[in-house]
Amino acid sequence: PGVKPGTAVLDAAQAGPADSGITVEQFKQDYRNKVERMYGDGLERVSDLDKYNALVSLVRDYLAEPWLNTKEKYRRTGAKQVYYFSIEFLLGRLLGSNLYNLGLNEVCQQALSELGLDLRTLRQVEEDPGLGNGGLGRLAACYLDSMASLGLPGHGMGMRYRYGLFEQRIVDGYQREYADDWLMDGFYWDVRKPAEAVEVRFGGNVRIKSNGKTQYIHEGYETVLAVPYDVPVVGYRNGMVNTLRLWSAEARLSEVVCAPQGGSDCQKAVEYSQTVEELSNILYPDDSTYEGKALRLKQQYFLVSAGLQSIIRNYRENNGHLREFPHKIAIHINDTHPVLCIPELLRILLDEEQLTWEEAWNITVQTMSYTNHTILPEALETWPEDLFRTVLPRLYLIVRDINEYYCRSLWEAYPGDWDRISRMAIISYNRIHMAHLAIVGCHSVNGVAELHTDILKNKIMKEFCDFSPAKFNNKTNGVTQRRWVSLCNPALAQLITDTIGPRWVEHPQELAQLERHSADTAFQHHLLKVKLQNKVALAKYVKEKHGITLDVNSIFDSQVKRIHAYKRQTLNVLHIMALYNRLKENPLLDIEPHTFIFGGKAAVNYHIAKNTIKLINSLADLVNNDKSIRDKIKVVFLENYNVSLAELIIPATDVSEQIPTASYEASGTGNMKFMMNGAVTIGTLDGANIEIKQAVGEDNIIVFGLTAEEVLAYYRGGGYNPWEVYQDNERLRQVVDQLINGFFPAAGDLFRGHFDSLLHQGDHFFVLKDFASYEAAHQVLDERYKDRPVWLKMCSANIAHSGRFSSDRTFAEYATDIWHIRPDTLPFSASEKQIR
Ligand code: H53
């Protein structure tokens, strides 16, 4: 407790193209003044938190002008604006990245150092904003960085959660969830805009008035005030600052007292305000109850309605009729959570603008595009019709109309095929299918890796794709090399720049030039040094935080991601157990020393995943305290995995574990971050792993296990028989038995759920089936590692071929193919940066 992941320092030589124009002297003076004005006290007497806040405030001053200029330029040029709606934005700490993108990093570092301060310490004061959960949210944050850095007029639209998902603490090996009070000390990056607040309406009923033209009058509703907070999104040294708009729910108490719900009693008004504010209290409220479900649905509508109202208000100030809307505005729906954008835009066009259904529908479809991020059935949202009707009565009628309109066109295409029509309908069996609504209401539907898109097109959404094939396309995910190399691994960034020059930061495909140096002894020597330095930094953190000493000369093998059955942390655990058994049998066994690193959160109600955490920690206790294996293996579970911790783990990792059951991981993005930092992937042929293999070549990645096709074929045949595999493999049998036979002395029956799911419930995720091939893959890995020049060549190849996994590439594709933004029309020229 109390130990936070640190941050890396950037070297002065990493300065990019543009100069901020601010000198060290100026910075020092500005900073001193800022502290004095904010706190009425001298720099020497204020706390680190005060120093940090003053620094953020100063950086905000510096970016105010480019922010204003950017908005002004958009207004003047009328450039088409993109709005990326997402329920999550996992931003990570912003001080470092904003300084870096503003080109102010070196100046700030120098100025602070001359004032006797350390930028690293102040960066560490920042809490990770609790605005996301996993890959989806972090991807959205990478995309914001890329849009601004590419010069694209693209903004984020999200929620300002009062509390994050939860803070994970490990108590006696178990996950315990604590409130993630990330806003406790304030968040100095955003600007509250009360004057731009809008009202969002829930509940009530709809009266239909017909005098010539049908009118829908929404009455008896409850109003919630949506207040926007704007966060600047700084482009990389291009003078551009876009906006991430986060919405917070508030009640205007003065009005509440007079409202029927509040009566005239102050106490009641306060209670009422609490229920209103609940809307933006937490991400993913527990939806196991009716109230919980209603809260989630309200939260989604809140984001969508507030966001759209503000977009339209802004549009009206600068443009004419809403008919032109799709030429000026693109709205992107990140997963199904913001799909209500579709009926909400229709509502505005129909009820407020009085457009005809055809006009309104065409505008909506041309404006909207949707990304699917999963094929997991539990993540493809559906809502009970009753609940939907109660919470959103007007939208319900609109969704019903869309459904009818759509089913009519299905009927024309497939007359009499009721089964197909009911499978494809938006409303069926009293549920509203949000993914169906998304496909119908958007002009583009994309998956996030080639395999994932193929599965969508040929399996999950096959019938939709047969009906409108032109909508479906692939956009393989990417991550920003600015945060995931330059900022988190400055020593590597420096080595790359020394070797091939600085252009790669903006043109990541130029990393391919490293290939020529990959067998070069001097380069390899430096690469090794960089890795070691990063391992030392991680080991220091682990020692301080967890009291465990890591051997920095061992292989650092990491699996850090959400804990989920399909991601198969259990497979990793069983393999470590088998390795441990081998060492116990033969303490002289010649294996490379290994450090197995785990991190990740399990959803609060996901019991078996929570037990997986306990399983990992039980294994860690056993292995780390067994002197007989002479520290050949260590296991650590790092508490509270988040962006900042990832920034520490990824640069220090040698082996990247990407081992989901093939077909389940839509893309994965951790896999990309690890490869950029020179880790070698051990992985299944799933998600973007396949494309990583294509990029690096099969010698530079270790793949194992069933392919997606094989997995899907097994499912079609009703599964496989895990007993056979269990009987045939002695080492595997031993570890599976050890889950329940007292091997973990204090565990009792704790891991019986794992045991049963593997043996008695058909091993749905093919853990046993893939075990032997996983073990063999690890042996290959060890062989390669022993031959250091070969290993380092593999590491270099991974870095060299990571360019196509830059989110700059991905978003250039979104811009041209989906949003139809021509680079040469951009106010901040991005044409040179288009890297298709
Ligand atoms: O989205 C990532 C993918 C990853 C996928 C993840 C994701 C979430 O984090 C949350 C919800 C959801 O539907 C999907 O699991 O494979 O890389 C970004 O596309």
Who wins on pLDDT, 836 or 504?
504
**Cα of 374 to ligand 1 centre, how many Å?**
6
Q: How confident is the model at residue 824 (pLDDT cuts 50, 70, 90)?
A: low
Confidence (pLDDT) at 268: 76
**Cα of 666 to ligand 1 centre, how many Å?**
7
**Rounded Cα distance, 327 and 309, in Å:** 18
**Rounded Cα distance, 573 and 360, in Å:** 54
- Judged against a pLDDT cut of 60, whether residue 731 lies above it is answered with yes
Kindly state if the Cβ of 374 falls inside 6 Å of ligand 1: yes
Is residue 567 annotated as part of the catalytic site, yes or no? Answer: yes
Q: Show the CA angle centred on residue 698, arms to residues 693 and 700, nearest 5°.
A: 85
Report the nearest atom of ligand 1 relative to the CA of 134: 9
491 near 498, Cβ under 8 Å?
no
Average pLDDT in the 406-424 region?
97
Q: Which of 160, 561, 594, 769 is catalytic?
A: 561
Please give the mean pLDDT across all residues of the chain. 94
Q: Would you say how long the chain is, in residues?
A: 836
In sequence order, what are the residues at sequence separation of 6 or more whose Cβ sits closer than 8 angstroms to the Cβ of residue 684?
Answer: 658, 659, 660, 661, 662, 703, 704, 705, 706, 770
426 near 437, Cβ under 8 Å?
yes
**Residue of 86, 138, 374, 477 with the most ligand 1 atoms within 8 Å of its CB, for mutation:** 374
- For the chain, domains (ranges, CATH) are 1-77+93-127 (no CATH), 78-92+128-477+813-833 (3.40.50.2000), 528-804 (3.40.50.2000)
Average pLDDT in the 104-109 region?
97
**Rounded Cα distance, 462 and 469, in Å:** 9
**Rounded Cα distance, 462 and 439, in Å:** 12
Confidence (pLDDT) at 260: 55
Query: Of all residues in the chain, what percent carry a pLDDT higher than 90?
Result: 89
Confidence (pLDDT) at 832: 44
**Residue of 136, 451, 475, 689 with the most ligand 1 atoms within 8 Å of its CB, for mutation:** 136
Confidence (pLDDT) at 211: 83
Average pLDDT in the 15-40 region?
86
**Cα of 683 to ligand 1 centre, how many Å?**
17
Confidence (pLDDT) at 1: 40
Predicted-complex ipTM score: 0.99
**Rounded Cα distance, 53 and 150, in Å:** 29
- Judged against a pLDDT cut of 60, whether residue 831 lies above it is answered with no
Q: Among 481, 621, 564, 562, which Cα is nearest to 150's?
A: 481
Residue with CA at minimum distance from ligand 1 atom 10:
136
pLDDT one-digit tens code per residue, 119-167:
999 999 999 999 999 999 999 999 999 999 999 999 999 999 999 999 9
Q: Which of 34, 93, 373, 452 is catalytic?
A: 373
**Cα of 136 to ligand 1 centre, how many Å?**
5
Tokens 């693109």 -> residue:
330
Confidence (pLDDT) at 270: 80
Amino acid at 698: E
Is residue 707 annotated as part of the catalytic site, yes or no? Answer: no
Confidence (pLDDT) at 744: 97
**Rounded Cα distance, 640 and 180, in Å:** 10
Confidence (pLDDT) at 571: 98
Report the nearest atom of ligand 1 relative to the CA of 372: 13
Residue with CA at minimum distance from ligand 1 atom 8:
136
Q: Which of 364, 476, 499, 669 is catalytic?
A: 669
565 near 604, Cβ under 8 Å?
no
Is residue 669 annotated as part of the catalytic site, yes or no? Answer: yes
Kindly state if the Cβ of 670 falls inside 6 Å of ligand 1: no
Q: How confident is the model at residue 271 (pLDDT cuts 50, 70, 90)?
A: confident
Q: How far is CA 248 from CA 37, 67, 131, 245, 302, in A?
A: 29, 22, 12, 10, 9
**Rounded Cα distance, 475 and 477, in Å:** 6
Is residue 562 annotated as part of the catalytic site, yes or no? Answer: yes
Confidence (pLDDT) at 835: 35
Average pLDDT in the 211-219 region?
90
Question: Residue 493 has which token pair?
Answer: 């960034």
Q: Within a 10 A sphere around the Cβ of 385, how many other Cβ atoms?
A: 17
- Judged against a pLDDT cut of 90, whether residue 380 lies above it is answered with no
Report the nearest atom of ligand 1 relative to the CA of 669: 17
Residue with CA at minimum distance from ligand 1 atom 18:
136
**Cα of 367 to ligand 1 centre, how many Å?**
24
Query: Of all residues in the chain, what percent carry a pLDDT higher than 70?
Result: 95
Q: Among 639, 664, 667, 638, which Cα is nearest to 653's?
A: 638
Kindly state if the Cβ of 687 falls inside 6 Å of ligand 1: yes
- Judged against a pLDDT cut of 70, whether residue 9 lies above it is answered with no
Q: Where are the beta strands (DSSP E) in 674-747?
A: 680-683, 702-703
Confidence (pLDDT) at 274: 86
Is residue 373 annotated as part of the catalytic site, yes or no? Answer: yes
Kindly state if the Cβ of 667 falls inside 6 Å of ligand 1: yes
Q: Which of 28, 471, 601, 673 is catalytic?
A: 673
